[in-house]
Amino acid sequence: MTHHWEALGWTLLHFCWQAGAIAIVYKLTDMVVARNRTQARYVLALVALLAMLGASIGTLAYEENSYRQTAVLAAGSSSSVRPALQIIPRPLAVIDMPSAPRHAAKLLAVDVMPYLDLLWLAGVVCLSLRTIGGWWLIRRLRHSALQKAPHTLRIGLDRIRLQMGVPRFVDLRLSSRVAGPLTVGVIRPLILLPITALTSLSPEQLEVVLAHELAHIRRADYFWNILQTMIETLFFFHPAVWWISRRLRDQRELCCDDIAVETCQDPAVYATALLRLEEERKLHLHLAMALDGNQSRVSLRARILRILGDPEEQPRDFKPLSLVGMSALLLLFVCPLPQVFASFKAAPKVSASIVHAVRHAAIRASVARPAIEAPSVKPTPSIAAAVVEAAPKPEPKPAPAPEADPQAKSDYIDRMRAAGYDVDLDKYVAMKVQDITPEYAADMAKLAGRKPTADELIAMKVQGITPDYVSGMRAAGYDASVDKYVAMKVQGITPEYVAAMTKATGKKPSADELIAMKVQDLTPEYMSHMRSAGYDGDMNKFIAMKVQDVTPEYADAMAKVGFGKPTIDDLIALKVQGVTPDYAAKLRADGIEVSSFHDLISYRIFNVSPEFVSGMKSAGFNDIPSKKLVELRVQGISPEFAKSVKAQFPEATVDDLLQMKIFNIDGDFIASAKRHGFAPLTIQKLVKLRISGILDDSDVKASN
């Protein structure tokens, strides 16, 4: 084992008592800090965690320096002795005889040190893989298919951001893969909202939730959370690290709660939003690098009570027995401190008498023995010379065959230079391969109004752009750049196509519009057929319909569904979602109320199928309005869940189903309410019990 690993092992051992001492100081200081000063308590916890990191770094540096000083001392004490006679072991050179028992314990620790280092390294690797996995999930979530937030919500976010003094732009997206708001990113912060938040939270609740996430961004909590995760990974073996880290996360959430409450007039709005979000959060995976708080049910209740102004539960007064116990623990901690500090002292120097005696004995031994002569070494030839001599001789290359006409090549370069193209040899070769002549360059310069570059000449020649093509496009009214000519030629746009599209659209399209129409294979025949069907829009509408393969036959079939003639936007939206006349007929056949094209699109987006409606009817819920059907699918309510609720509460309505799902009232919660004597039960009583959190504490105690 190298001295680096030994220094690391001693650092980990010393960290055990260092972290305990820092935790005791933190606890005593935290008891002194006022309870209403959340920011001060957060800074105190952060300083304690950073102090642990600083103590370990300082100890590691001290151990490394001690080993270097020991090595220098050993080298200085034997500088006058031949290298073959340096047989004094390191422990004898740095200890004295009265400290032999302590030295034996130290040697035993050194023997165990490799296994401690391996165990620590294995734990760090395992937790690092867990952290990397969380980071990968966040990165994948950030680059997955996200939806843009509504325009009004983004405007509200910018307004709150400016009020809170957050200078950086904050992006807001919606995702179906998260159940609670998430804030990710340090340089480019991003707030992710669950889609269900738009239906379960009011606009006021959404604004205060966004204020909480903006508070995380203003305080740079994502960066501090990453540093906190690194410290937890390095010192996973110490309970004090996890305890202070948990306290730090709790105080961080309380600080952001205070900032969020300042932005709203009624604290109950924020408390209700927290409760609803927590019910959805329980069903999703907690990300190690995200700022979702990872709050337990008990801490959530404490946060809600604190927001509503209820006094916090003060810690119990210390009893005499607890004071005696703490005194005993403190005594046990202080007793071994002299030995601990003694181990930190520099190794005692060897006395002059011992050094003199050892040197004298070594000199006498060297005189008594014959000198050990070093074996003679014959001079070896230079390595470079040997490599050169051993390397295979290069075979002579055949002389290059003379070119057929070197004068022709020279004339081409001279002529292109005379035309103003002084480029490198590769460009000359490329122009020669494409048969670009000075005459072609002069014609294209005359038509373009400027001298094209060598790359532009090559691109035009590759695409077959001739002076005649440019003249024809300019005659058609397109005096474009070289890049535009190349793009139009690539798409096969000819003056004839321009004339046909101008006649079909009633105006001359721009070069970009021509390219877009040609890419989507928009033809005058398609536009004529759609106009005959009664759909006359601008060019962008025709392109959008062509992209979605909207045909006159599809438009006629959807017009016969029974909701009138669909507009161009309706046709595009229906086609995007895959709505067909057969789908609409099947919904009506199963008795599902469909009153507009918008209902068809909503049903298709949220997968409101005839099978789902039939299952809800069999569960006892008939004639469900269309909006309620969409809400049921958004909340993830299945016919099985509805059937179980109907069996226990025969008078349950669709709104009752939504409330039970939002507040996560399941069979276990109902059984817990019955076990505690809350009978007879109603759905409204269950909702109140869930909001109050009365049963949560008893359930936690029962599980423990």
Q: Write out the DSSP string of 504-559.
A: HHSSPPPHHHHHHHHHTT--HHHHHHHHHTT----HHHHHHHHHTT--HHHHHHHH
Degrees to nearest 5, angle at CA 75 with 70 and 76: 100
The DSSP line for 89-130 is -HHHHH--GGGHHHHHHHHHHHHHHHHHHHHHHHHHHHHHHH
pLDDT digits (tens, 9 = 90+) for 263-274: 887 787 787 787
pLDDT for 634: 86
How far CA 100 is from CA of 91, 109, 382, in Å, comes to: 10, 14, 54
Please give the single-letter amino acid code of residue 561: V
Distance CA 68, CA 83 (A): 19
Distance separating alpha carbons of residues 371 and 470, to the nearest angstrom? 97
Using an 8 Å Cβ cutoff, are 461 and 467 in contact?
no
The per-residue pLDDT for range 181-208, each reduced to its tens digit, is 878 877 788 888 887 777 777 888 888 8
- Given a contact cutoff of 8 angstroms between Cβ atoms, the answer to whether 236 and 127 are in contact is yes
pLDDT level of residue 350 (50, 70, 90 thresholds): very low
Name, in order, each residue with C-beta under 8 angstroms of 152's C-beta and a sequence gap of 6 or more.
Answer: none
Nearest to 119 by CA among 239, 243, 240, 236: 236
State the DSSP code for 319. P
Task: At 449, list the tokens.
Answer: 């109004």
Has residue 641 got a pLDDT over 70? yes
Residue 57's CB is within 10 A of a number of other CB atoms, namely: 11
Q: What is the mean pLDDT of the chain?
A: 75
Least confident of 28-37, 199-208, 456-465: 28-37
pLDDT value for 47: 92
> 107, 91 in Cβ contact below 8 A?
yes
Higher pLDDT, 283 or 600: 600
* Residue, of 86 and 503, whose pLDDT is higher: 503
183 closest CA partner among 293, 105, 104, 102: 293
Q: How far apart are CA 164 and CA 170, in angstroms?
A: 13
Q: Name the DSSP letter for residue 177.
A: S
Helix boundaries (H) for 379-491: 383-390, 406-418, 425-433, 438-448, 454-462, 467-475, 482-490
Let me know if 439 is exposed, middle or buried by CB neighbors in 10 A (0-12, 13-18, 19+).
exposed
Mean pLDDT of 81-94: 41
Q: Which of these ranges, 216-230, 388-402, 445-459, 496-510, has the smallest mean pLDDT?
A: 388-402
> Which residues share a beta bridge with 173?
148, 192
* Core vs surface per residue 225-261: b (16+ CB within 10 A) or e: beebbebbbbbebbebbeebbebbbbbbbbbbbbbbb
Contact at 8 Å (CB) between 193 and 221? no
Give me the percent of the chain exceeding a pLDDT of 90: 3
**Six token digits for residue 357:** 């005696």
Least confident of 336-345, 462-471, 597-606: 336-345
The label of the residue with tokens 């959530």 reads: 300
CA distance 520 to 515: 9
Mean pLDDT of 628-653: 88
φ, ψ at 76 (rounded to 5°): -70, -35
pLDDT tens digits, one per residue of 96-140: 444 444 454 455 456 677 777 788 888 888 888 888 877 787 777
pLDDT tens-digit map of 557-600? 988 888 888 999 888 999 888 899 888 888 888 777 788 888 88
* Residue 366 pLDDT greater than 80, yes or no: no
- pTM higher than 0.75: no
Check whether 163 has a pLDDT greater than 70: yes
CATH superfamily of 143-236+249-307: Metalloproteases ("zincins"), catalytic domain (3.30.2010.10)
